[in-house]
């Protein structure tokens, strides 16, 4: 899985040195080449064509689309100096509450410029929001398919895969499901475009902020897209306002208001191996630049954590054999969800009273028994005292791979009650039938 950071709110297009260096120091190795942040903002597009009393400081890219690539040069030079990649780019787009439904031609031109610039910058993917974002038009689908078909030869020539994305439409301030928000329909669009292109030239970038605003089930959304899903834009919000916050920060009553559970379930189910793009411009802008290095270190750790959770099942799959450390609830959760697919050899525990017993079908052994493991058997810590146990294993001189397991986001939860009730009801029904009731 490839983790990127969107530079909006962190890197200035004109003076990109400090922000880019902060991102590099935080450990990011790949940044989004965001033409909407550096070249032509949603606000600029909304005011396109209006008479201005005060002339702009620089010629607007919306009026001079050929300037689009040039506006990213300083950022790209700095990124390269820090050996940062830009594997994904994003074309300019209109704001969600746009009143403009007359800019289809301009958006297509900007998308074409973005494809060229993305190709030159070595990007693999370009996110292009379907046109007329946020405005209801019955012919949206047809118009967009035609636009994307026209862009296909250029995308091929530039070696760039175009990613459609989900977006909101603004109903007088209330954000509703807009173009691309129906995953089944988006999947059908992509298939038709790829068929017309004769190759896989189109995919999808799911904006988690948008699915959250629309209260959508990320698992079902991802499941409908399947292999077409190439990128996920990770941003957090409260489900009501279109903010881009650091994951897990739009919390209320001690819980995140984003459905991370279904995101992880979905990504694991399709064995997602694409790009995770962290977008947190509102959080970044709200913090003082003095605190930004510390914030970005947290952001990197958070993005890594999201990637790790999404990749959990690949991690289990990676080792030929495994043992667990811990004989409690987390071990039980492991056995319920993964015990059959990835059976552990045994589990161990620090509590001597458990040694020699069985837990969820596993023999419970003392930690010393880990010394007898084959070298490539991984030890999965199934206990929240991760670091303490990791230290213990290190002190034992154990050379086996040590991994963490987490039951925070499981494919299902322990829930046998309903099945038991239905079985009992069925039994009672049969008994009634026998008695002739």
Partner 1 sequence: MRKLGVQTQNAVADADPRAGFARLRDAGFDCADFSLHSYLLNKDIYQQEINPFFDQSVAALEDFFAPHREAAAAAGVTISQMHMPYPIYVPKGNAELNRYLWHEVAPKSLRLCAFFGCRYIVVHGFKLARFLGSEEAEWQHTEAFLEYLAPMAKEMGITVCIENLYDGIAGHLVEGPCCDAVKCAERIDRLNEKYRAEVLGFCFDTGHANLLGIDPGRFLRTLGHRLKVLHVHDNDGVRDLHQIPFTFARTRESTTSTDWEGFLRGLREIRFPGVLSFETGPALNAFPPSLHAETLRFIARIGRYLAQRLDDAPDATPAPRD
Rounded CA separation 263/203 (Å): 18
Q: How near is the Cβ of 367 to partner 1 at its closest, in Å?
A: 32
Is the Cβ of residue 300 or residue 332 nearer to partner 1 in the bound state? 332
**Which uninterrupted H or E stretch holds 158?**
helix 140-158
Q: Which two tokens stand for residue 20?
A: 């880019």
Residue 66 phi, psi dihedral angles, 5° rounding: -70, -10
Other CB atoms within a 10 A radius of the CB of residue 138 amount to 6
Other CB atoms within a 10 A radius of the CB of residue 60 amount to 18
Q: Which two tokens stand for residue 373?
A: 């493991």
Is the Cβ of residue 44 or residue 182 nearer to partner 1 in the bound state? 182
Which parts of this chain interact with partner 1 (CB under 8 A)? Answer: 168, 171-177, 181-182, 184, 212-217, 219-220, 238-240, 251-259, 261, 265, 410-413, 415, 417-418, 420-422, 424-425
Contact criterion met (CB below 8 Å) for 402 and 393: yes
Q: How near is the Cβ of 169 to partner 1 at its closest, in Å?
A: 8
Q: How near is the Cβ of 193 to partner 1 at its closest, in Å?
A: 21
Q: How near is the Cβ of 257 to partner 1 at its closest, in Å?
A: 4
Short-list 75, 166, 155, CA closest to 111: 155
Is the Cβ of residue 11 or residue 261 nearer to partner 1 in the bound state? 261
Query: Beta strands of 7-136 (E only): which ranges?
Result: 33-34, 88-90, 125-127
Rounded CA separation 367/370 (Å): 6
Alpha helix stretches (DSSP H) within 27-72: 35-38, 42-46
Q: How near is the Cβ of 253 to partner 1 at its closest, in Å?
A: 5
Is the Cβ of residue 306 or residue 364 nearer to partner 1 in the bound state? 306
Is the Cβ of residue 65 or residue 266 nearer to partner 1 in the bound state? 266
- Separation of CA 405 from chain center: 20
Is the Cβ of residue 184 or residue 200 nearer to partner 1 in the bound state? 184
Q: At what angle do helices 292-310 and 17-26 cross, to 10 degrees?
A: 50
Q: How near is the Cβ of 271 to partner 1 at its closest, in Å?
A: 16
Q: How near is the Cβ of 244 to partner 1 at its closest, in Å?
A: 16
Short-list 393, 350, 352, CA closest to 373: 393
Is the Cβ of residue 175 or residue 245 nearer to partner 1 in the bound state? 175
DSSP class per residue in 283-304: HHHHS-GGGHHHHHHHHHHHHH
Is the Cβ of residue 31 or residue 267 nearer to partner 1 in the bound state? 267
Q: How near is the Cβ of 261 to partner 1 at its closest, in Å?
A: 6
Q: How near is the Cβ of 409 to partner 1 at its closest, in Å?
A: 11
DSSP class per residue in 117-153: HHHHTT-SEEE-PPSSTTS--TTHHHHHHHHHHHHHH
Is the Cβ of residue 58 or residue 271 nearer to partner 1 in the bound state? 271
Query: For 63, which DSSP code?
Result: T
Short-list 91, 95, 75, CA closest to 12: 75
Short-list 170, 168, 300, CA closest to 234: 300
Edge-first strand listing for the sheet containing 377-381: 358-359, 362-365, 347-348, 321-325, 377-381, 402-404
Q: How near is the Cβ of 312 to partner 1 at its closest, in Å?
A: 14
Is the Cβ of residue 391 or residue 408 nearer to partner 1 in the bound state? 408
């Amino acid at each position: 899985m490839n983790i990127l950071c969107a530079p909006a709110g962190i890197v200035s297009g004109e003076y990109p040195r400090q922000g880019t260096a902060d991102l590099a120091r935080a450990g990011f190795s790949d940044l989004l080449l965001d033409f909407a942040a550096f070249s032509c903002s949603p606000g600029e597009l909304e005011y396109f064509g209006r008479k201005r009393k005060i002339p702009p400081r620089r010629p607007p890219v919306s009026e001079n689309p050929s300037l689009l690539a040039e506006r990213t040069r300083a950022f790209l030079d700095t990124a390269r100096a820090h050996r940062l990649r830009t594997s994904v780019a994003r074309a300019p787009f209109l704001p969600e509450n746009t009143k403009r439904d007359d800019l289809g031609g301009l958006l297509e031109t900007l998308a074409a410029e973005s494809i060229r610039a993305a190709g030159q910058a070595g990007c693999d993917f370009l996110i292009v929001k379907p046109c007329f974002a946020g405005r209801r038009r019955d012919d949206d689908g047809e118009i967009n398919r035609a636009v994307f078909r026209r862009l296909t030869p250029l995308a091929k020539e530039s070696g760039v895969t175009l990613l459609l994305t989900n977006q909101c439409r603004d109903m007088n301030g209330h954000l509703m499901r807009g173009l691309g928000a129906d995953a089944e329909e988006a999947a059908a669009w992509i298939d038709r475009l790829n068929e017309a292109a004769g190759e896989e030239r189109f995919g999808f970038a799911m904006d988690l902020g948008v699915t959250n605003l629309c209260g959508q089930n990320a698992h079902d959304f991802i499941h409908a897209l399947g292999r077409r899903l190439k990128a996920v834009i990770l941003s957090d919000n409260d489900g009501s306002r279109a903010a881009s916050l650091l994951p897990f920060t739009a919390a209320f009553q001690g819980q995140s208001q984003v459905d991370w559970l279904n995101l992880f379930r979905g990504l694991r189910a399709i064995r997602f191996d694409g790009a995770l793009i962290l977008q947190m411009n509102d959080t970044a802008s709200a913090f003082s630049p003095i605190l930004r290095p510390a914030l970005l270190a947290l952001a990197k750790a958070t993005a890594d954590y999201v990637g790790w959770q999404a990749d959990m099942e690949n991690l289990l799959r990676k080792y030929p054999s495994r043992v667990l450390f811990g004989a409690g609830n987390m071990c039980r959760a492991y056995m319920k969800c993964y015990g059959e697919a990835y059976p552990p050899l045994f589990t161990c525990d620090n509590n001597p009273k458990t040694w020699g017993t069985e837990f969820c079908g596993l023999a419970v052994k003392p930690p010393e028994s880990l010394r007898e493991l084959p070298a490539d058997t991984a030890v999965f810590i199934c206990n929240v005292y991760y670091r303490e146990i990791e230290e213990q294993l290190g002190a034992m001189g154990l050379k086996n791979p040590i991994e963490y397991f987490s039951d925070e986001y499981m494919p299902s939860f322990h829930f046998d009650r309903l099945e038991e009730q239905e079985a009992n009801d069925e039994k009672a029904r049969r008994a009634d039938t026998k008695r002739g009731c």
